[in-house]
Amino acid sequence: MTHFEPKFIITSKIATSLMRIEAAKEAVRHLPITPSVLATLRETARLYSTHYSTMIEGNRLTQEQVIQVVEKRERFSGRERDEKEVLGYYAALEKTEQFAHAGYPVTEPQIQLLHALVMAGGRTKVKPSPYRDGQNVIRDSRSRGIVYLPPEAKDVPVLMQTLTAWLKAAEPDGVPCPIRAGIAHYQFATIHPYYDGNGRTARLLTTLIMHLGGYDLKGLYSLEEYYARNLGAYYGALTIGPSHNYYLGRAESDITPWVDYFCAGVAESFANVQKRAQEAASAPDYSPLLRKLDPRQRTALQLFRRSESVTSRDVAQLFTVSQRTARNLLRHWVEKGFVVATDPAKKSRKYALASDFKELLP
């Protein structure tokens, strides 16, 4: 195959999604968000993307644990592989943003470097990953039956060349950026150029294309959350064609259902960002106060939004730790002036947010 020409039509549903995307994009662009608040929102989006994209692949770390691994390099016994996946994806996401800022068109070396970072466990000095040199097979984790048989290794280089060539030509041809990104995601997953890390790299490629096209929404959105909330729909939308074998119809299939699914997801994600950004733009700038708090303290604010006082059991449930660990954490927070003890009883001791931080609550 020396030419890639995806088959799809812009249905009324896709057109509606594209209009919603444009409306949210313009609304966010004009919101007066302060640089400090914007930086906080961007970091939250990076952490969300990292959590959900690795969760899709079976990563067992909670969102709070992902924050601890990325920001404080904390370790969790028995989760070493999960930690490396998180650090690898976060590093690759940062590199994606650097590529987008540079503004160069998508190239194969860029994609290969992103994949190398995904697989490097947090190391940033890596060489671009060569494509696989043999056949791989995607199997159902339970039945072990074949779900998808990608193209042979000998065909991967030319297929990747045609994908990047299509991306270069599609923009001047008038293909909307969200559709280009969705098609690139689909085709990369179809080619499956590596033995592992294809899904994560496909999602990073999507982000890169969206950012290059001006659809970064100030770096505030996480499309990975949309996929992760319903993995069945995600994989179902990607499963197109009459056979699990690449050579038996997938390359010629109509991918309109996938484009529909993808654009609806972008529209939903953008709408969520617009809502959060509007709230941030209208709220007081508490960033200097927030900077005094570590990730766990910021997360614990949600407990005090629900109740004036909390117990060690509440903290243990929030962070999925033992009550002993929670009590030690609360003792540390008392010393730091984040909370104050309101009940002298040791077993049922309650804690309230220190007055200095109460203005952070709505």
Q: What is the pLDDT of residue 345?
A: 67
Q: What is the pLDDT of residue 301?
A: 86
Q: Is residue 33 assigned to a domain?
A: yes
Residues 162 and 3 sit within 8 Å (Cβ to Cβ): yes
Q: Is residue 136 assigned to a domain?
A: yes
Structure tokens at 208: 């890169």
Q: Is residue 246 assigned to a domain?
A: yes
If asked whether residues 274 and 225 sit together in one domain, one would say: yes
Q: Is residue 6 assigned to a domain?
A: no
If asked whether residues 216 and 75 sit together in one domain, one would say: yes
If asked whether residues 43 and 92 sit together in one domain, one would say: yes
Q: Is residue 98 assigned to a domain?
A: yes
If asked whether residues 72 and 142 sit together in one domain, one would say: yes
Residues 295 and 71 sit within 8 Å (Cβ to Cβ): yes
Count of other CB atoms within 10 angstroms of residue 272: 16
Q: Is residue 348 assigned to a domain?
A: yes
Q: What is the pLDDT of residue 287?
A: 67
For residue 153, what are the CA distances in angstroms to 131, 134, 186, 226, 234? 8, 5, 18, 31, 25
If asked whether residues 225 and 335 sit together in one domain, one would say: no
H or E element at residue 146 = strand 146-148
Q: What is the pLDDT of residue 32?
A: 83
Among 152, 180, 145, CA closest to 165: 180
If asked whether residues 268 and 152 sit together in one domain, one would say: yes
From 222, 251, 282, the end of a domain falls on: 282
Domain harbouring 322, CATH code: 1.10.10.10
Residues 8 and 259 sit within 8 Å (Cβ to Cβ): yes
pTM above threshold 0.75: yes
If asked whether residues 135 and 239 sit together in one domain, one would say: yes
Structure tokens at 271: 């709408």
Handedness of CA 196, 198, 199, 201 (dihedral sign): positive
If asked whether residues 274 and 307 sit together in one domain, one would say: no
Q: How many domains does the chain have?
A: 2
From 282, 306, 337, the end of a domain falls on: 282
Domain harbouring 221, CATH code: 1.10.3290.10
Q: What is the pLDDT of residue 70?
A: 93
With a cut of 70, list the residues of the chain below it in pLDDT: 1-2, 283, 285-287, 344-347, 362
Residue-range definition of the domain harbouring residue 309: 291-360
If asked whether residues 68 and 175 sit together in one domain, one would say: yes
Q: What is the pLDDT of residue 37?
A: 76
Among 361, 279, 263, CA closest to 22: 263
Q: How far apart are CA 52 and CA 22, in angstroms?
A: 25
Q: What is the pLDDT of residue 294?
A: 84
If asked whether residues 51 and 139 sit together in one domain, one would say: yes
From 257, 282, 307, the end of a domain falls on: 282
Structure tokens at 86: 């998180």
Residues 32 and 278 sit within 8 Å (Cβ to Cβ): no
Q: What is the pLDDT of residue 183?
A: 97
If asked whether residues 155 and 204 sit together in one domain, one would say: yes
Q: What is the pLDDT of residue 205?
A: 97
Q: Is residue 4 assigned to a domain?
A: no
Q: Is residue 2 assigned to a domain?
A: no
Residue 175: CA count within 13 A, CB half-sphere: 22
If asked whether residues 127 and 204 sit together in one domain, one would say: yes
Q: What is the pLDDT of residue 346?
A: 64
